[in-house]
Amino acid sequence: MPATVTSRPSRREAPGQPVLAVHDVCVRFGTQDVLRDIALEVPAGQTLVVLGESGCGKTVLLKTLIGLVRPTSGEVRFEGRVLAGLSDRELAQLRTRYGFVFQNAALFDSLTIADNIAFPLREHTRIGAAEIGTVVDELLAEVGLPRSAAGKKPVQLSGGMRKRAGLARALALDPPVLLYDEPTTGLDPIMSDVINELILRVRARDGVTSVVVTHDMHTARKVADRIIMLYPLFRLADGEPQIVFDGTPADLERSRDPRVRQFIEGRAGARLTELRDEQAGEGPGATRKTP
């Protein structure tokens, strides 16, 4: 049974208090280590951007924050509660306080856009149909979708419109935390910036905390209060921290770490050599050092 509440949940937290806390988290799938000794705190109201190349564990970290992936070791706390200590019912209730914007929107193909947005309200609240309709109309307007989109199926919308519908659904329960997984992937520059502007509008909501996983430097520079950068474990020596940068966007531009510079400047460097080594059967990590 889904957790049910009688109304849209309250989302206010004391400004500056840690909403999310990650303590020495490691994640391993079989013999493959993906995250190692990750430690960070995200205070209420902050927009944290998580940068890093494909395969470095960004999305795994995001899923760990809501308990979809359980750490191999370490712990994740949301509003002071350890996720691993919660029952399935408690975890379901807690997830009503997150909004998750999926990389490909992840809308239900068989439902209209209005029904997609209304889905969390019908599953997790007891508010009436008229009020749900009002909320859906408000959310459509908030993300810049015309009322005519409400009765359409996802396949009838452009990629940018589907992304905005996914954001509207994520906002339906008025959550205190919004998690974005590659929100601008596959969009043209103009529509990408529309999504960035919407992220900024959501940040303006009192008390909303955001975590944005992306490799889009324009998004990172525009929306972040704080940026961390993850690095693939197989390119790190034993004991090297996986978070190779943690600071403001201005700090990122001043960083002299060659790994950070290579990423933000989009330089391949020695990566082609590494890829050739992998194809030759030497395997990931055969050339650990970056230029």
Residue 279: the pLDDT is 66
* Residues across the chain: 291
For 104, phi then psi, to 5°, come to -110, 25
DSSP notation for the chain: ----BSSSPP----TTSEEEEEEEEEEEETTEEEEEEEEEEEETT-EEEEE--TTSSHHHHHHHHTTSS--SEEEEEETTEEGGGS-HHHHHHHHTTEEEE-TT----TTS-HHHHHHHHHHHHB---HHHHHHHHHHHHHHTT--GGGTTS-GGGS-HHHHHHHHHHHHHTT--SEEEEESTTTT--HHHHHHHHHHHHHHHHSTT-EEEEE---HHHHHHH-SEEEEE--GGGS-TT--SEEEEE-HHHHHH---HHHHHHHHT--TTHHHHHHHHHTT--TTSS----
Residue 246: the pLDDT is 97
Residue 287: the pLDDT is 44
Closest to 167 in 3D by CA, of 95, 103, 96, 91: 103
What residues does each domain of the chain span?
Answer: 45-62+88-255
Q: Which tokens hold the place of 48? A: 């944290």
Q: Which tokens hold the place of 74? A: 């370490």
Mean pLDDT by 10 residues, the chain (291 residues): 47 64 95 95 95 92 92 94 90 88 86 95 91 94 93 93 94 93 90 93 85 94 97 91 96 95 83 68 49 39
- Pick 45-62+88-255's CATH classification: 3.40.1210.10, 1.10.3430.10, 3.40.50.2020, 3.40.50.300: 3.40.50.300
Residue 288: the pLDDT is 46
Helices 113-124 and 129-142, axial angle in degrees (round to 10):
130
Residue 222: the pLDDT is 96
Which residue in this structure is represented by tokens 């029952």?
87
Please tell me the pTM assigned to this model.
0.85
Q: Give the C-alpha separation, 116 to 154, whole Å.
A: 9
Identity of residue 173: L
Contacts of 164 (CB under 8 A, 6+ apart): 143, 144, 145, 194, 195, 198
